[in-house]
Amino acid sequence: MSNHGAPSAAAHTDHGHPQPLVKLAVGAIGVVFGDIGTSPLYAFKETFAGHHPLAVDALHVFGVISLIFWTMMLVVTVKYVTVIMRADNRGEGGSLALLALISRLSPGDTRSTQLVLLGVLATALFFGDSIITPAISVLSAVEGITVVEARMAPLVVPIAITILIALFLFQRRGTARVGAIFGPIVLVYFTTLAVLGLVNIVDYPGIVAALSPLYAASFIADSPLAAFLALGSVVLVVTGAEALYADMGHFGRKPIRLAWYGLVLPSLMLNYLGQGALLMVTPEAVANPFFLMAPEWARLPLVVLATFATIIASQAVISGAFSVTQQAIQLGFLPRMKIVHTSASAFGQIYIPAVNWTLLVLVVFLVLGFQSSSNLAAAYGIAVTGTMFIDTMLLAVLVLTIWRWPIWWAAPLLAIFALVDFAYFASNLTKVPDGGWFPLVIGLIGFTGLTTWSRGRALMQDRMRDSAMPIEVFIKSAAAAATRVPGTAVFMTTSPVGVPQALLHNLKHNKILHDRIMILTVVIDEVPYVSDEDRIGVRELGGGFYRILIRYGFMQEIDIPAVLRTVENCGPRLKMMETSFFLSRQTLLASDKPGMAIWREHLFSWMMRNAESAMDFFKLPTNRVVELGSQVEI
């Protein structure tokens, strides 16, 4: 890393982006910008016709356009595209990757607990966002049919639910086979946004002056309360900005920046200017300015195109939820879950059934409960602004303590980010009674689950470590006395020290030891990828005992048998038919020992019972696994 904190080129290409820049940029348009690209469907309309309506006049139209433009410049262009995307953890982005990066570069930092809690909270809020985005995006697109034919209004909710159910049912098939068409469709969509905007700007060219910050200032000075409440809708134009950072690992920094500056930003701003121009000419178009920008003959095709765009945007958010869940599992914040890899060639194409069906149920609940995109807009924004605010706080730690940027210009920049984020977050808090409570409830549930699992695992490992026998003592006393049988036994344990419980129980009940015993610990590092050269560590303990450490990055797929076949320096190569895997299955007993509240201990116990078995998670051969139970008080 250079003196100014920008990652080196080599660091960014750890897992490579060999495709041409333009091709990657088109792919990024389809995946990364789907969410922010669908904002014109509802954001501008909600500012004027939402829960805090504004009069359709020059002051408000020009003021809102000005706020939209400068919000996109400050939040997306400066904060995310220019600054935060420099903070890649070996090429990967997102709140958890940023947290892991800070932890890796500042080990032993006294603020680590607080930083972890912030990263976990951002992750919990992201799950709230993943539920609302498909619901509001698809609903807002389908509502376009009421512009074509008002009598079709009763069909909006059933059609939206049908599309959403089909979308979630499709997830198990994977997105690799249709991923190639995502980019071109969204490319056509963004081009359509720009053309619609230009056509309407021609009718009222003076709207271009709204790009001046003076109009935002005039709006705020004239109606400070109305402007503050309007921020809650204006922020909808940048929903999806965090996806630029989170999806950086799939495409790389340069393609995302090229797509943003070359197409996405100009198209979005032309469209918002076009909507503003339409309202200046036809104020009654405030009912649905996006679809009313189009001539009557083009509205039905526009509804179809917008629906495709929202499906793609929703697909990207759902895939993001899978990726974040996988990261949380690997980093120890969630129990093991079944993860299905849907593509043999495209890394990162995963499907997690438990997450998929939970999202589906909650998304359908939202659509049935809120009925319209306007009602859902009240629930939207809190999760996004909360995540953005947390990203700013984590960025401040990175900039000031690790990158060590000069305080005289880093502090003002961070202060501007924090002020903007706080203003938008505070404005969205006014939506809590009207639906903003939903993402907060989801965030609270997610935060409780993530922290309970992380704390419970730490307590359980501490209890087991306290009662563990030193391995040197065990080898001296047991190796010579026990009967040795042919073959290899692999005992898996989370602790890199002491004797695994399964090994003690096996000796106690079966009175034997295998000729070769491997005590295996899997460690997930705070980097996305660990190279094959750094994957395995072997230490001979004597008496046919070996301690093996296998390292993975938090974005990598775990396959223990595949790695063990390559292990050297511990006797002959492993043969699966001569190897037995011993796992310890703990039964947790809630107790009044200091650690967690009793209800959290019961929650942790329930999560552990419902976790995917270690046998499936580590891809162990089913006919070579022996599970031995034990009880642990926490």
On whether residue 471 sits in a domain, the answer given is yes
Residues 491 and 420 in one domain: no
Burial of 173 (0-12, 13-18, 19+ CB in 10 A): exposed
Among 380, 382, 326, which Cα is nearest to 352's? 326
Is 422 in the same domain as 464? no
What are the structure tokens assigned to 48, written together?
Answer: 């004027």
Q: Is residue 621 part of a domain?
A: yes
Q: What is the pLDDT of residue 177?
A: 52
80 phi-psi bin (left φ>0, alpha ψ -120 to 50, beta other): alpha
Pull the structure tokens for residue 127: 């799950």
The token pair at 586 is 């703990």
Q: Is residue 454 part of a domain?
A: no
CA gap 40, 443 in Å, rounded? 26
Q: How many CB atoms are closer than 10 A to CB 219?
A: 23
In the chain the first and final C-alpha atoms are separated, in Å, by: 42
The residue assigned the tokens 């100014």 is 4
Q: Checking DSSP bridges between strand 350-351 and strand 625-633, what pairing results, if any?
A: unpaired
- Which domain-ending residue is among 391, 415, 433? 433
- Residue 327 three-state SS: helix
Give pLDDT, residue 9: 33
Dihedral, 318, 320, 323, 324 alpha carbons, nearest 10: -110
Of 392, 414, 433, the position where a domain reaches its end is 433
**Cβ atoms < 10 Å from Cβ of 418:** 15
Residue 280 Ramachandran class (φ > 0 left, ψ -120 to 50 alpha, else beta): alpha
386 and 533, same domain (yes or no) = no
Determine, yes or no, domain membership for 177: yes
Which CATH number covers residue 218? 1.20.1740.10
Say if residue 427 is in the same domain as residue 292. Answer: yes
CA 409 to chain centre: 30
Query: In which residue are the tokens 């499907």 written?
Result: 351
Exposed/middle/buried for 59, CB within 10 Å: 0-12, 13-18, 19+?
middle
What is the residue range of 390's domain?
9-433
54: helix, strand or coil:
coil
pLDDT at position 505: 82
DSSP state string for 374-402:
HHHHTTSSHHHHHHHHHHHHHHHHIIIII
Cα-Cα-Cα-Cα dihedral sign, residues 605, 559, 98, 190: negative
Q: Which of the 8 DSSP states describes residue 405?
A: -
Of 398, 433, 468, which residue is a domain's last?
433
pLDDT of residue 347: 52
The count of other CB atoms within 10 Å of the CB of residue 209 is 12
- Does residue 25 contact residue 237 with C-beta atoms inside 8 Å? no
User: How open is the CA angle 353-359-363, to the nearest 5 degrees?
Assistant: 150
Is position 453 within any domain?
A: no
Same domain assignment for residues 496 and 400: no
Indicate whether 24 belongs to any domain.
yes
Q: Are residues 223 and 339 in the same domain?
A: yes
pTM of this structure: 0.80
Question: Is there a single domain that holds both residue 209 and residue 60?
Answer: yes
Rg (CA), the chain: 27
Question: What is the tally of structural domains in the chain?
Answer: 2
Question: Is 446 domain-assigned?
Answer: no
245 φ/ψ angles, rounded to the nearest 5 degrees: -80, -45
Q: Which residues of the chain fall short of a pLDDT of 50?
A: 1-17
441 inside domain: no
Whole-number pLDDT of residue 241: 80
C-alpha of 69 from chain center: 26
Query: Do 469 and 409 fall within a single domain?
Result: no
User: Three-state SS string across 131-180, please?
Assistant: HHHHHHHHHHHHCCHHHHCHHHHHHHHHHHHHHHHHHHHHHHHCCHHHHH
Beta bridge partners, 483, equal 512
CA-to-CA distance for 122 and 86, rounded, in angstroms? 19
How many helices, marked H, and strands, marked E, lie in the chain?
28, 8
Helix (H, G, I), strand (E, B) or coil at 589: strand
Alpha helix ranges (H) inside 7-84:
9-12, 21-31, 34-37, 43-49, 58-71
Say how far apart CA 181 and CA 186 lie, in whole Å.
Answer: 9
- Token pair recorded at residue 30: 């389809």
Tell me the CA distances in angstroms from 615 to 322, 622, 625, one per residue in order: 21, 7, 7
Q: Give Cα separations from 10 to 7, 84, 93, 98, 210 (angstroms).
A: 8, 18, 16, 18, 42
Beta strands across the sheet bearing 536-542: 536-542, 545-552, 512-524, 483-492, 579-589, 625-633
Tracing tokens 């797929």 back to the chain, one arrives at: 557
Based on the domain organization, do 413 and 527 belong to the same domain? no
Give CA–CA dist 180/473, Å, rounded.
Answer: 59
What token pair was written down for 242? 């965090």
Q: Please tell me whether residues 416 and 486 are part of one structural domain.
A: no
Please tell me whether residues 428 and 468 are part of one structural domain: no
Contact at 8 Å (CB) between 218 and 67?
Answer: no
Q: Please report the pLDDT score of residue 14 as a whole number.
A: 39
- Whether residues 362 and 473 share a domain: the answer is no
